[in-house]
């Protein structure tokens, strides 16, 4: 009974904490949307996506479980009402749905990828330092597939439809996904269960994060590649006309130039690229030097290490009183 009660409390606490932090993340969405640069905006949306679940797990394992094991008597005779088991069951369902869903998605993607590799041929593309393949597929594929061993796939119809500049822009878009590790980010996000999965806006953060990563890759293609924003806009329009609308296509999880779910947002991406064309003469904003980017990244890492060290020190100093406070809250909850 002792360990059953502890497990039930831990599951219920995770559900409530995840929901609480999820509400907080949604409140921060308007602030993140105002971020001027698209690369930080995409990273911030990713952090908002995984923050609730990761923080809830940390709080559960660092506070809830230790406070129960250290302060709750082994021979406790406390009984659970109906609410606590209900919350624990809902929490277990949310966790299982997220993890089994991620596992099923990985398995399905693995099978489709194996089929793609069997019916594709290796090609060499300038500026691409990962394995690249030409694929005979009805879906207009331009995609980086794989988080740890990425591969670039391009369908034959896309190669035939795009001119050299448009194709170079499309490839640079995929290199933007590769540079940002978007495939790894999306797999990690899939493992994080949403805090309020039964509400209408539960997938809002995931959709915002996906849209921000696509726009960030568009910006990378314009900034790092030799093609113009018009070339990428033209490539997007041409590929969008080849995407089948009526029936969903079985494609592996990955970072695509364009997916079926992206079709409603194609106008916004093209409009953003046209705005970049109008301001292309501002070279300072479009072409930061690598030393500037490295300096900014170094400052962010130093700030992150400083904040993390301060948080760990504060946690170590106040840990006993935190455990006592958490245990008192659990007693009231029971």
Banded model confidence at residue 130, pLDDT cuts 50, 70, 90:
very high
CB-count burial class (<10 Å; 0-12, 13-18, 19+) for 108: middle
Q: Which string of DSSP letters, residue by residue, matches 21-76? A: HHHHHHHHHHHHHT-SSHHHHHHHHHHHHHHHHHHHHHHIIIIIHHHHHHHS-TT-
Report for 54-63, 263-272, 286-295, 308-317: range of highest mean pLDDT: 54-63
pLDDT digits (tens, 9 = 90+) for 193-243: 887 777 666 678 888 889 999 999 998 988 877 778 999 999 999 999 988
Of 303, 6, 258, 266, nearest to 139 by C-alpha is 258
Strand 132-135 to strand 120-123: parallel, antiparallel, or no bridges (unpaired)? antiparallel
Calpha distance 12→85 (Å, rounded): 8
Residue 297 has pLDDT above 70, yes or no: no
Residue 303 is assigned to a structural domain of this protein: no
SS3 letters across 111-127? HHHHHHHHCEEEECCCC
Residue 276 is assigned to a structural domain of this protein: yes
Q: Residue 201 has what pLDDT?
A: 67
Q: Residue 295 has what pLDDT?
A: 64
Mean pLDDT, rounded, for 160-189: 92
Calpha distance 179→81 (Å, rounded): 51
Which pTM was predicted? 0.82
Q: Residue 283 has what pLDDT?
A: 42
Residue 226 is assigned to a structural domain of this protein: yes
pLDDT digits (tens, 9 = 90+) for 93-124: 999 999 998 999 889 899 988 989 998 999 99
Residue 310 is assigned to a structural domain of this protein: no
Count of the separate structural domains present in the chain: 1
Residue 297 is assigned to a structural domain of this protein: no
Residue 298 has pLDDT above 80, yes or no: no
Mean pLDDT taken over the chain: 84
Q: How many CB atoms lie within 10 A of CB 305?
A: 10
Higher-pLDDT residue of 89 and 320 is 89
Which domain range does residue 96 map to? 2-287
Task: Note whether 140 and 260 are within 8 A (CB).
Answer: no
Six-digit token string for 197? 């999965």
Calpha distance 177→42 (Å, rounded): 11
Residue 238 is assigned to a structural domain of this protein: yes
Residue 172 is assigned to a structural domain of this protein: yes
Residue 125 is assigned to a structural domain of this protein: yes
Report for 95-109, 222-236, 271-285, 304-318: range of highest mean pLDDT: 95-109
Q: Residue 286 has what pLDDT?
A: 45
């Amino acid at each position: 009974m002792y360990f059953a009660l502890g497990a039930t409390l831990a599951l219920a606490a995770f559900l409530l904490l995840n929901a609480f932090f999820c509400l907080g993340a949604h409140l921060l969405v308007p602030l993140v949307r105002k971020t001027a640069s698209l690369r930080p905006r995409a990273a911030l949306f990713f952090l908002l996506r995984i923050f609730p679940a990761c923080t809830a797990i940390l709080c559960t394992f660092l506070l809830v479980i230790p406070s129960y094991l250290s302060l709750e008597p082994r021979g406790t005779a406390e009984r659970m009402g109906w609410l606590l088991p209900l919350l624990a069951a809902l929490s277990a369902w949310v966790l299982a749905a997220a993890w089994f869903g991620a596992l099923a998605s990985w398995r399905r993607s693995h099978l489709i990828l194996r089929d793609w590799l069997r019916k594709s041929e290796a090609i060499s593309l300038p500026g691409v330092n990962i394995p690249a393949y030409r694929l005979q597929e009805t879906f207009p594929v331009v995609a980086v597939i794989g988080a740890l061993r990425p591969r670039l796939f391009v369908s034959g119809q896309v190669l035939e439809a795009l001119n050299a500049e448009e194709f170079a822009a499309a490839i640079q878009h995929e290199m933007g996904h590769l540079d940002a590790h978007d495939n790894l980010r999306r797999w990690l996000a899939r493992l994080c269960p949403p805090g309020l999965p039964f509400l209408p806006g539960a997938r809002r953060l995931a959709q915002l994060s996906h849209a921000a990563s696509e726009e960030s890759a568009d910006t990378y293609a314009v900034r790092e590649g030799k093609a113009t924003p018009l070339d990428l806009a033209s490539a997007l329009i041409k590929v969008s006309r080849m995407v089948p609308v009526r029936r969903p296509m079985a494609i592996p999880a990955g970072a695509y130039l364009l997916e079926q779910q992206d079709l409603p947002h194609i106008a916004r991406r093209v409009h953003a690229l046209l705005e970049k064309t109008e301001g292309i003469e501002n070279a300072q904003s479009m072409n930061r030097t690598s030393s500037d980017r490295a300096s900014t990244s170094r400052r962010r890492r130093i700030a992150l290490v400083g904040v993390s060290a301060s948080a760990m020190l504060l946690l170590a100093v106040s840990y006993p009183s935190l455990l006592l406070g958490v245990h008192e809250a659990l007693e009231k909850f029971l």
